[in-house]
Amino acid sequence: MSAWTLGVIGGSGLYEIDGLENVREERIETPWGDPSDALIRGEIGGVSLVFLPRHGRGHPLPPSGVNYRANIDALKRAGVTDILSISACGSLKEELPPGAFLLVDQFVDRTINREKSFFGPGCVGHVSVSDPVCARLSGFAAAAARKAGADVTEGGTYLAMEGPQFSTRAESRLHKSWGCSVVGMTNMPEAKLAREAELPYASLCMVTDYDCWRDGDDLDVSEILAILKANADKAKSTIRHLAESLPETREASPQGIERALDFAILTAAEARDPALVAKLDAVAGRVLG
């Protein structure tokens, strides 16, 4: 058992958190490069919280320009125990209208230009992501979002596309035909990297629009921005309710996420690349020694 240190990755429209006490900024260097921004530390309801704006303050980084490895590594070095990802998305289902919140439990990764693993030549690792989110953390987040007044759905599939352009109508209809619930550009490889770092991860998706699968629907960026602002206000309230509702003591994840690397490293000790092993000190130091 240990104390919670909640990491929050804020997506489009969420660049700061209200109500943080003892706020301080921390810049963390990682062997994977610079994270999106300085980490913002503070406390809410007695819970330690670390906030990282995914796109940087002022939104200078597009989805493909985010250094996902550096972000996850920095949060791990900061002592984060669990990550709540918050992101904007487009809906692929009629029953998920603009303004709805969705706690996803599955992903389809269609990104193509991103570094997707901490492991590689010289230290090969394979982790299971069959159930890519932490069910416990997702449940806590769903309850908190309802307290914040959000219309919440639990369970659904997030289609991650490369972007930065939105979908063509043909792509949107294809993604819908696959049974996906929402489409976005940022949760992959973020969720996979969190699992490699043995960090329980939950994804709260805020619907800004119906994607263009509906006849006659075209994305109106001005309308999306208005929904973004309303969603961001509820997201900030959700974070506060989540921090205040977490159990006083933190048990290990029932899914065993903190031990995801127990049998993941295939490269024999004598064949490992020392330079890569050194870079993995925060992410995989528990198993690499």
Nearest Cα residue to 202 out of 86, 36, 66, 71: 86
209 given a catalytic annotation: yes
* CA atoms of 185 and 162, how far apart (whole Å): 6
151 given a catalytic annotation: no
Catalytic: which of 209, 220, 262, 273?
209
Residue 160's identity, in one-letter code, is A
**For 120, how many CA atoms within 13 A lie in the half-sphere containing its CB?**
10
Nearest Cα residue to 117 out of 54, 30, 195, 61: 195
Cross-strand partners of 202: 84
Residue 248 CB coordination number (10 Å): 9
Q: Cβ distance 70 to 32 under 8 Å?
A: yes
Catalytic: which of 37, 82, 211, 262?
211
Helix (H) or strand (E) holding 210: strand 201-210
Pairing relation of β-strands 21-26 and 201-210? unpaired
DSSP 257: G
Residue 22's identity, in one-letter code, is N
> Which residues are tagged catalytic?
209, 211
